[in-house]
Structure formats: C-alpha cells, structure tokens
Amino acid sequence: MKYLIALILAFPCFSFAEGAAIDQDITRVKDAVLELNKDLYELERELLSPATTRAAFNVSLNNGKFFEPLSVELLIDGEVKVRHLYTERQVKALRMGAVQPLGDMNLSPGKHEVRAVVRGVDHLGQGRELIASEQVTKTSKPLITELSIVDREEQQMARIELNYW
C-alpha cells in the first residue's frame, strides 16, 4: 500500500519532467525546421540566381533639379529586359534618396552590351532622353550596378552614369 501511494505521488513529478523534455524537443525541432527553411531558401536563391550569373540593376536620382524621369528601359545585348513607368510618388521617393531596384536577372559570364534609356522632362519642361550605353564584363561574381541620374550644374543638364557596387 505504501509503495502504491509513493508511486501515485511520484507520478506527477515524472509526467512534469517528461513534459519539460517534450517541450525542449519541440523547441529543438522548431529550431531545426527554421534552420532547414533558411538553408532551403538560400539553396533556392543560389539555384535561381547563382552568383556566377546574378546581375542586379538599380536606379537613383541625384538631386533631380535638371531632369525628372518618366520612364526607363533597360536593354541587354539589344533585348529589352525591363520597362518601368514612374509615378509622381516614385519620383518623389527617388528625390528623397531612394534607390529603386529596377531588375534582378541572370547574365552569363562574359561581355555584354548594357543600354539604359531614361525618358523624362528637363527643368524647362522639355522632353529629354538620357542614354547610358556601356560594355560590361560579367565575372563569376554578382554584377550589381546603379544607374545614377546626376545633375551637371555647370552644363545646366543631367546625365546618366552606370556605377558598379
């Protein structure tokens, strides 16, 4: 009888310890799942856009006193890859220093002809077209570029530059 009572009294302790162990196991499994998810995400990213072929193009507007963009077209090796229209809100964001991710794409290593055509209006309200045309060399590292629209105070106009990050 004594043993039976002792067993009954000890049972909640056992089940409490068991419960704590299960909780720990669940936490460990959750952590493992999160880790696995992160690995899968990275693997997917690597597969979809590996560093050897990854190319990213961004747009920025420096001041914007002499030029306001209305649209941009990005051509790689003569083929239009991205077309974008700017709304007033987007131009405001660019003026405030935002950098617009224009496009992420895959480019094979080697030389490529990159041409960006930005259409917009100048400070006199006249339609203008800024063109950047450059031959870029894609190496095994990711190619990350920024199309900067920069004011040229001395020439009272803007120009576009292709910068590499």
Partner 1 sequence: MGYLARFLVLAVIATFAHADISLKPGDQVPDLILPAVNGYAQRLEEVRGSYLMLIWLGRCDNCSELLHDYQQLAKSMEIDGAKAWVVWTPYKDDVPPNLLIPVLKYDAKWPDAWLFETRPSIMLIGRDGKLEHLITGNLNSIYKETETVFMRWISAGRGDETVE
Q: Which of 2, 13, 88, 126 binds partner 1 (CB under 8 A)?
A: 88
Q: Are 148 and 62 in contact (CB under 8 A)?
A: yes
- DSSP H or E stretch at residue 18: helix 2-48
The stretch among 17-25, 48-56, 82-90, 139-147 that binds partner 1 (CB under 8 A) is: 82-90
Distance CA 1, CA 7 (A): 10
Query: Applying CB under 8 A, does 93 fall inside the site for partner 1?
Result: no
Q: Which of 57, 66, 67, 86 binds partner 1 (CB under 8 A)?
A: 86
Q: Which is nearer to partner 1, 121 or 131 (CB)?
A: 121
Q: For residue 100, give every residue at least 6 positions away whose Cβ sits within 8 Å of its Cβ, in sequence order, or none.
A: 58, 59, 60, 84, 90, 93, 94
Query: Applying CB under 8 A, does 129 fall inside the site for partner 1?
Result: no
Q: Which of 27, 71, 106, 163 binds partner 1 (CB under 8 A)?
A: 71
Residue 41's identity, in one-letter code, is: Y
Q: Which residues bind partner 1 (CB under 8 A)?
A: 70-71, 83, 85-89, 91
